[in-house]
Amino acid sequence: MKFQGVPNNYTPIILTARPALIPMPSPILEAIEQRRSIRNFTEQTVDSNTLYEIIQAGVWAPSGLNNQPWRFAIVTDAAIRARLAEQTTYGHIVLGAPALIGVYLDRQAMYDDLKDAQSAGACIQNMLLAAEALGLGAVWLGQILKNREKVGEILGLAANLELMAIIAIGHPSRRDQQSQRKPLAEFIVKEL
């Protein structure tokens, strides 16, 4: 055992300069740190190729046994977005986003509920990072899961598809979002 806990003098270099570890600033670490949930969008639409690119980034996530259980429903139609908006208390975001991607798991491809759900999260994180890399903003919507069956009806999806989240995507109307994380030491429970 070396020591317990993060030393008091540790400054997370991801938040500051990082010459010691990384010869050049890492755009990857910066992207991870600077990503924010974007909930307000301009009226500018998002073209299909851009949405495909975001999904392509999603499917480069790892999955257990490489089972690739993710499935996606793209919604840009305003009338369908309006119906989906009624299924969540965050309906104003669903209405205001020019594009939605429903992220599903295919029960026929799944092998482990927990690990496949984790893999859906990894897939979604790739999509959120990709959206920002493409100059867009996005937010991960989970509250709508309480009406997942109704969402499936609206989208006309097969029963083997289980809703994991809806990602709202668009051109950000502003980029001054702030977010907070606890100090790193509060997350690290053991060092052995």
Residues 131-150 touching its own copies, rule: CB under 8 A, are: 132-134, 140, 142, 145
User: Rounded to an integer, what distance in angstroms lies between the CA atom of residue 118 and that of residue 168?
Assistant: 20
Told to check if 78 binds its own copies by CB under 8 A, we report no
Residues 1-40 that bind its own copies (CB under 8 A): 1-2, 6, 10, 12-15, 18, 20-22, 26-29, 31-33, 35, 37
Residue 182 in tokens:
């606890």
CB of 43 to its own copies, least distance (A): 18
Instruction: Report the residue from 93, 94, 110, 129 that binds its own copies according to the rule CB under 8 A.
Output: 129
Residues in binding contact with its own copies, number by CB under 8 A: 87
Cα(93)–Cα(170) distance, integer angstroms: 10
Looking at 59-67, 90-98, 168-176, which segment touches its own copies (CB under 8 A)? 59-67
Q: What is the largest CA-CA distance in the chain?
A: 60
Euclidean distance between CA atoms 65 and 27, whole angstroms: 30
Q: Exactly one of 38, 41, 55, 168 binds its own copies (CB under 8 A); which one?
A: 55
In Å, what is the CA distance from 110 to each residue of 61, 119, 127, 150, 174?
15, 10, 20, 22, 38
